[in-house]
């Protein structure tokens, strides 16, 4: 219901693309809580979106290109759908698929996101030649055959119309648009043909790069332009030239990787930026004016001896002169040792860089801000405060393809928010698995997983009891009820979310609040629609399961049971553990037990690291993701916000670390580096956070001998002759020694040997407790829900997690052979 309205005239900036209509009228309504009910057509008749007027102001890119319907760009992500990696090809071949190289899955993936209303999308990085491959047989576009494969993608995207707010027309729309990203990896190539500005080896690839000769450089420029022409012929609306994140173009830009003495190198920056400019000029000449050229410019290298701010500005201006349409922001080389996209990076933390370029009126083409922008409120404030003209979001489109549409409709509470965990996207990309998303297992598997509301035929709908509302239970209940089953969700706790309720308390994991918010809202809607019962504060017993399994529908019959009861902490066998100073991670994280200044943490898996971070930086506030302070983060990691230093790094002595609250000794039984099993792209951040605090001692190869009567821990380090013993005089000992599955309900049902045993399915941590794995839990819950009615789905014979094992094994074998 609209309660009142106020019309605000926004006088505009002089640049036509900043305001297509010179003056736009924004109707800013004060909306009541059910703003979602605002009629879509009515929105169009007004000239601006009532919820996020800046986000939905169209962006005019001039007469040759036209207008983008809104200010959101879907950022580039190589997901594995665009490439023809050997593992994928082999798997397709083994499955006897007719066309091993078609891009139908990629078309479906982008089609869904275009339907979700994003103004412009960029594909994952595609190489212009073989040397530029990300990995062997990764996506490349240099031939007509490769070109033709892409038409299915561009046709799909162009078939979709996106609503926009036009000052001159009601119900105005713009076509879906997509650019192809041209990415040459240079010395980041994960294959033996790597090349670069000079013969160097990057710290993140085992393959040394060969120096390109001057004629090789000119051939590479032609390859970029050829790739762009082929992209245009394939129907792409433009290209994004990848000039950041430490890839080839970036490698030419800085002295650290460019030791050349020809016209593409040397002390003079105009030589070092020549490669970028020549690529843009040739591309513009070859593709004409009606073609978008985005340049991803590294505005903050975050590596020693990176670009200076003056160089960045000079490059931006030269790029505009060379014919670039939009400048996108790149943050941090891949080898940088500062988190740039992890969940501990506060929302919008790096938009200050784009703002600086914009404030200094460096260029007059649109500037796009990027990294860790995952909510419409963040987008709106970045645009409204003049930090950027356009916002790039990449992973948020994996988490929710409809993020733009839901924002437009004022349904922010329905957005499945990207929690920036990297677990199913970047971590997959690094090991050659098709990317997906922890909170949305359908991402990049659109042709395989379909969740159609009420799609189960009426006579096949089941009454399903789900015991446990952690990630696995929530995901199962949500999918099963959505497709038409009737679900009753039981939890002995009064809140849903299971272990996510602890994760959200860890500093840097505040985004987990959002997943709980999302599922709570969606389950509530299903409940209101009569598709789901929620019985919180209810513990289910075996006898209750038996009763309901044999009851009539009116008495609450349950046809199938899903056991998603999660895990219990494993209690190691150490004498004296009953001392009151000994706590479990649940005492600390859930029950907020009082913890002293000096703490021993037993177990250095994911939970041990989380608990250590929590204890170091604990504060009572229980912050939400949008309350995390950006400046604290930048200061702690030594980012030079003034950009007065090359690469944007503060000198070591100027870094101000937040003073930790405690002293911690983190231990593991295993030999070797602590945290080796943490996420591939994020583990180093957790290790680094603890090491940099200077308050965490890490010990491996530890045997725990006893806890004495004072609550002190006696340990032995090492074995045999070299072993040493120590007594840790700590205030508390926190146990993070792994978990055991809670599957008593299944076990009793199986032992009783009755009919119930055939109806009980165990998922999530209750099925497999080796590490708490929300990715596997949500994937498993979702996939089982889709098949639960099928006759061949029987208890004990269902793994139901993404079928990517073979792909991963093949990839790893291939990498071993190549090294
Ligand atoms: C799986 C994955 C693949 C990516 N691949 C590319 C790429 O090919 N080219 C590129 O410029 N950036 C790539 N990125 C970086 C994103 O474009 C983006 O900068 C980053 O994810 C931060 O933005 P976000 O917080 O909106 O996700 C990739 C990111 C992910 C998660
Ligand atoms: S896996 Fe995690 S980081 Fe990646 S898109 Fe999903 S929520 Fe975001």
Residue pLDDT, tens place only, 358-384: 999 999 999 999 999 999 999 999 999
Delimit the CATH 3.20.20.70 region(s) of the chain: 71-416
Looking at residue 293, what DSSP letter applies?
E
Q: For the residues 574-586, what does the mean pLDDT come to?
A: 97
The ligand 1 site (C-beta within 6 Å) comprises 75-78, 124-125, 181, 183, 242, 296, 341, 370-373, 393-396, 425-426, 429, 435
Beta strand ranges found along 218-286 (DSSP E): 238-243
CATH class of 582-618+661-737: alpha beta
Model pLDDT, residue 752: 87
C-alpha distances in angstroms, 534 versus 456, 544, 563, 733, 809? 21, 16, 15, 37, 41
Q: What dotted CATH number matches 464-566+741-801?
A: 3.40.50.720
CB 584 within 8 A of CB 569: yes
Measuring from atom 5 of ligand 1, which residue has the nearest CA? 77
- Residue among 135, 75, 143 nearest 110 (CA): 75
From the CA of 332, which ligand is nearest?
Answer: 1
User: Distance, CA 700 to ligand 2 centroid (Å)?
Assistant: 31
Q: What dotted CATH number matches 71-416?
A: 3.20.20.70
Measuring from atom 6 of ligand 1, which residue has the nearest CA? 77
Model pLDDT, residue 28: 25
Q: Is the pLDDT of residue 2 over 90?
A: no
Q: Is the pLDDT of residue 607 over 80?
A: yes
From the CA of 184, which ligand is nearest?
Answer: 1
For residues 24 and 10, what is the distance between their CA atoms, to the nearest angstrom?
Answer: 6
Q: Is the pLDDT of residue 253 over 60?
A: yes
Q: Is the pLDDT of residue 751 over 80?
A: yes
Alpha helices per DSSP H over 143-205: 144-149, 151-158
Coil, helix or strand for 602? strand
Q: Is the dihedral of CA 233, 234, 235, 240 positive or negative?
A: negative
Q: For the residues 778-801, what does the mean pLDDT come to?
A: 86
Delimit the CATH 3.50.50.60 region(s) of the chain: 582-618+661-737
Q: Is the pLDDT of residue 819 over 90?
A: no
Taking the CA of residue 425 as reference, the ligand 2 atom at the shortest distance is 4
Model pLDDT, residue 16: 37
Q: Is the pLDDT of residue 644 over 80?
A: yes
Measuring from atom 2 of ligand 2, which residue has the nearest CA? 421
Q: Which of 109-118, 179-188, 254-263, 795-804 has the lowest mean pLDDT?
A: 795-804
State the pLDDT confidence band at 218, using cuts at 50, 70 and 90: very high
% of the chain surpassing 90 pLDDT = 75
Q: For the residues 392-407, what does the mean pLDDT come to?
A: 98
Model pLDDT, residue 300: 98
Q: Is the pLDDT of residue 43 over 90?
A: no
Taking the CA of residue 775 as reference, the ligand 2 atom at the shortest distance is 1
Taking the CA of residue 420 as reference, the ligand 1 atom at the shortest distance is 25
The ligand 2 site (C-beta within 6 Å) comprises 395, 398-399, 418-425, 437-439
State the pLDDT confidence band at 680, using cuts at 50, 70 and 90: confident
C-alpha distances in angstroms, 153 versus 7, 158, 577? 41, 9, 60
Measuring from atom 31 of ligand 1, which residue has the nearest CA? 426
**Which residues are marked as active site?**
247
Delimit the CATH 3.40.50.720 region(s) of the chain: 464-566+741-801
For residues 511 and 623, what is the distance between their CA atoms, to the nearest angstrom?
Answer: 10
Model pLDDT, residue 36: 29
User: Distance, CA 343 to ligand 2 centroid (Å)?
Assistant: 9
Q: For the residues 303-324, what does the mean pLDDT come to?
A: 97
Taking the CA of residue 134 as reference, the ligand 1 atom at the shortest distance is 8
Q: For the residues 464-492, what does the mean pLDDT come to?
A: 97
Measuring from atom 6 of ligand 2, which residue has the nearest CA? 437
Q: Give pLDDT tens digits for 521-535.
A: 999 999 999 999 999
Q: Is the pLDDT of residue 603 over 60?
A: yes
Residues in the chain: 819
User: Distance, CA 709 to ligand 2 centroid (Å)?
Assistant: 46
CB atoms within 10 A of CB 10: 14
Which residue did the predictor score with more confidence, 562 or 21? 562
Q: Give pLDDT tens digits for 651-666.
A: 988 888 778 889 999 9
User: Distance, CA 399 to ligand 2 centroid (Å)?
Assistant: 6
User: Distance, CA 250 to ligand 1 centroid (Å)?
Assistant: 16
For residues 587 and 611, what is the distance between their CA atoms, to the nearest angstrom?
Answer: 11
Q: For the residues 209-215, what does the mean pLDDT come to?
A: 98
């Amino acid at each position: 219901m609209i309660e009142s309205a106020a019309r605000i005239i926004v006088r505009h900036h002089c640049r036509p693309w900043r305001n297509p209509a010179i003056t736009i009228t924004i109707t800013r309504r004060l909306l009541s809580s059910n703003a979602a009910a605002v009629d879509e057509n009515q929105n169009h008749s007004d000239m601006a979106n009532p919820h996020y007027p800046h986000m939905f102001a169209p962006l005019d890119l001039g007469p040759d290109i036209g207008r983008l319907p809104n200010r959101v760009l879907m950022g580039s992500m190589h997901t594995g759908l665009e490439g023809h990696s050997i593992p994928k090809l082999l798997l397709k071949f083994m499955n006897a698929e007719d066309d091993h190289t078609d891009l139908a899955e990629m078309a479906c993936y982008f089609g869904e996101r275009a339907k979700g209303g994003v103004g412009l999308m960029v594909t994952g990085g595609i190489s212009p030649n073989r040397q530029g491959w990300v990995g062997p047989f990764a996506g490349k576009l240099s031939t007509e055959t490769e070109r033709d494969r892409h038409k299915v993608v561009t046709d799909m995207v162009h078939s979709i119309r996106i609503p926009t707010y036009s000052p001159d027309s009601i119900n105005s729309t713009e076509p879906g648009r997509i650019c192809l990203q041209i990415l040459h990896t240079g010395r980041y190539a994960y294959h033996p043909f790597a090349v670069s500005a000079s013969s160097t080896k990057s710290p993140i690839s085992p393959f040394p790069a060969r120096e390109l000769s001057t004629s090789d450089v000119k051939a590479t420029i032609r390859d970029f332009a050829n790739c762009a022409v082929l992209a245009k012929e394939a129907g792409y609306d433009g290209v994004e030239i990848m000039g950041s994140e430490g890839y080839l173009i970036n490698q030419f830009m800085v002295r650290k990787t460019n030791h050349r003495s020809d016209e593409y190198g040397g002390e003079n920056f105009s030589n070092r930026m020549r490669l970028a400019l020549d690529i843009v000029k040739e591309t513009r000449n070859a593709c004409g004016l009606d073609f978008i050229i985005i340049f991803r410019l590294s505005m903050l290298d975050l590596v020693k001896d990176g670009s200076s701010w003056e160089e960045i500005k000079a490059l931006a201006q030269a790029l505009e002169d060379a014919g670039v349409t939009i400048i996108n922001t790149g943050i941090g080389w891949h080898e940088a040792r500062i988190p740039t996209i992890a969940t501990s990076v506060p929302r919008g933390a790096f938009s200050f860089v784009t703002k600086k370029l914009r404030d200094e009126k460096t260029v007059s083409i649109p500037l796009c801000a990027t990294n860790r922008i995952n909510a419409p409120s963040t987008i709106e404030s970045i645009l409204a405060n003049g930090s950027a003209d356009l916002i790039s979001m990449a992973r948020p489109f994996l988490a929710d393809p409809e993020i733009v549409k839901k924002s437009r409709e004022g349904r922010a509470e329905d957005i499945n928010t990207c929690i920036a965990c990297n677990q199913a996207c970047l971590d997959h990309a690094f090991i050659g698995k098709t990317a997906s998303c922890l909170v949305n297992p359908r991402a990049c598997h659109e042709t395989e997983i379909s969740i159609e509301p009420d799609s189960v035929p009426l006579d096949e709908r089941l009454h399903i009891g789900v015991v446990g509302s952690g990630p696995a239970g929530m995901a199962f209940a949500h999918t099963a009820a959505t497709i038409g089953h009737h679900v009753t969700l039981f939890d002995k706790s009064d809140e849903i979310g299971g272990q996510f309720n602890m994760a959200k308390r860890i500093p840097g994991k505040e985004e987990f609040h959002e997943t709980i918010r999302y599922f709570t809202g969606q389950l509530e809607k299903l409940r209101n629609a009569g598709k789901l019962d929620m019985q919180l504060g209810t513990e289910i017993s075996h006898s209750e399961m038996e009763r309901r399994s044999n009851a009539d529908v009116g008495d609450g019959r349950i046809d199938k049971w899903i056991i998603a009861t999660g895990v219990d902490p494993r209690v190691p066998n150490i004498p004296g553990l009953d001392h009151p100073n000994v706590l479990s991670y649940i005492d600390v994280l859930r029950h907020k037990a009082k913890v002293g200044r000096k703490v021993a943490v037993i177990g250095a898996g994911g939970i041990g690291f989380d608990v250590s971070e929590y204890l170091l930086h604990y504060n009572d506030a229980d912050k939400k993701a949008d309350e995390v302070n950006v400046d604290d983060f930048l200061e702690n990691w030594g980012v030079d916000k003034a950009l007065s230093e090359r690469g944007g790094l503060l000198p070591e002595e100027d870094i101000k670390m937040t003073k930790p609250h405690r002293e911690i000794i983190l231990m593991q039984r295993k030999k070797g580096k602590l945290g080796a099993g943490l996420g591939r792209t994020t583990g180093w951040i957790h290790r680094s956070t603890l090491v940099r605090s200077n308050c965490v001692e890490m010990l491996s190869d530890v045997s725990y001998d006893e806890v004495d009567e004072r609550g002190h821990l006696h340990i032995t380090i090492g074995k045999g002759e070299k072993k040493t013993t120590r007594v840790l005089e700590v205030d508390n000992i926190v146990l993070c020694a792994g978990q055991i599955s809670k599957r008593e309900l299944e076990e009793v049902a199986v032992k009783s040997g009755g009919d119930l045993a055939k109806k009980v399915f165990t998922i999530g941590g209750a099925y497999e407790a080796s590490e708490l794995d929300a990715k596997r839990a949500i994937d498993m819950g979702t996939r089982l829900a889709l098949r639960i009615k099928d006759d061949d789905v029987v208890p004990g014979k269902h793994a139901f997690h993404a079928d990517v094992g073979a792909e991963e094994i093949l990839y790893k074998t291939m990498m071993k052979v190549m090294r």
